[in-house]
Amino acid sequence: MPRTIHLALHPYGVGGPGQHGLWKDSRVAKNASIDINYYIRQAQAAEHALFDALFIVDSQFINATYPAHYLNRLEPLTLLSAVATHTRHIGLVGTASSTYNSPFNLARRFASLDHISGGRAGWNVVTSFDTGTSRNFGLDEHLDYTTRYGRALEFVKVARGLWDSYEDDAFVADVARNVFLDPAKLHELHHEGEHFKVAGPLNLSRSPQGQPVIFQAGVSEEGRDLAAQVAEGIYAPGGTLQQAREYYADIKQRTASYGRDPEHIKIFIHGGPVVAATDEAARRREREIFEEDNDFDRNLALLGRSFGAYDFSAHDLDAPFPDVAHLAEKGGRTGAGKLIERAKSENLTLRQVTELVNEFRNSPFVGSPRTVADTIETWFAAGTFDGINLAFRTTDELDLFVDGVVPILQKRGLFRTEYEADTLRGNLGLPVPANRNTRAPQLVND
């Protein structure tokens, strides 16, 4: 089968990081982020367009400077369970922290979503970016990078073990024999590791897709290695075509080095398409969007998020960028480290670094429907992604992409014209994981 593009939808609500002005748009309901009908409509529109998945991000810490969407939004698994009952095919991927959850409870919640949706659940594994989250869970300090990623790897392994608690034919439900469960096919886990001690078993059977699909967003060395070991889908940073190609090749190579099939990990880059009747109109709209969101005070607060929600407003904006390297270790180390390095090498002020974080950058996926389709095809052929995680400011802009770009991709054989399966794994072309507890059939000698 020829390679085809996978598409996921990431709804913005009233505006997350970098979309500071979205809540002011007259087309956006001020309660969008807590309106389940908003998400249901978005999911149904994406499903009508044959998208692979709806993707919901999350964090568990805020202060008053955080983006509008972060201040008042629904918990992902609750949200996706509601969406599941109003959709049939689209995958449902929720973000949940391996640092601030326990494996048994989270494994049970995702398995429940998998059953509710008929095998469409996915888990985006994060180690938690916001250092302030620790104080919401009785801890004085956020865990360091090495500990967080070691915990995440073990967490996923424990969850997968729990999802295999029952063999597929464990529930015989034989009334005549008065047997509901074959006890030989229920398996305790008995896991004892560096971070977790979990007995099991999970009180929930496997879903039609076997296990929820594991997603991850690996940027740092630790993140890329974690993704290569456990992820089946990756949310990649994007960047330029060359940067995206290098990241794609690196992840696929790392995956192979762990003895995994590189085709069993699907890399999604971020895409914020702007589609209009002409290229010129689309570029004008792209610039308008930037100006709508260009709020210096909000950008300064957003910069602080990479350094553990640090308050940079206490510093002189026109003095050299302050020495805050120690704050990056437990926050967004990779991105923060690059900012520190550039600030030092170019002798930048705090004001300049803040402006740098939000400087205008042309998106590659901007133009008429044909131009956007051409660019997507070029990037796909260049080996930069398996899919795109699409974000649109409004439903109107989602509709422009669906009505204008998707048909062109379909005509070129780059995107499906019908769903291949009823599960997220099936539509992504991923195998159903073998149950580690299923015994091989015994050979019988005649």
Annotated binding site: 58, 95, 149, 220
- Residues 273 and 370: their CA atoms lie apart, in Å, by 12
In the 3-class helix/strand/coil scheme, how is 328-344 assigned residue by residue?
HCCCCHHHHHHHHHHHH
Strands of 209-354 (E only): list them: 213-216, 233-236, 266-271, 274-275
Closest-CA residue to 376 (of 409, 402, 419): 409
- Give the single-character DSSP code of 432: P
The SS3 call for residue 426 is helix
Helices (H) and strands (E) in the chain, counts: 16, 12
- Residues 111 and 6: their CA atoms lie apart, in Å, by 23
HSE (CB half, 13 Å, CA atoms) of 439? 9
- Give the single-character DSSP code of 174: B
- Residues 46 and 314: their CA atoms lie apart, in Å, by 44
**Per-position DSSP letters for 190-213, written without gaps between them:** -EE-SS-EE----SS---TTSSPE
Return phi, psi of residue 305, to 5°: -65, -35
Question: Long-range CB contacts (< 8 A, 24+ apart) of 189-194?
Answer: 189/158, 189/161, 189/162, 189/165, 191/157, 191/158, 191/161, 193/154, 193/157, 193/158, 194/150, 194/154
List, as residue ranges, the binding site for FMN. Answer: 58, 95, 149, 220
- Residues 358 and 16: their CA atoms lie apart, in Å, by 14
Q: Which residues sit opposite 9 in a β-bridge?
A: 54, 390
Contacts of 138 (CB under 8 A, 6+ apart): none
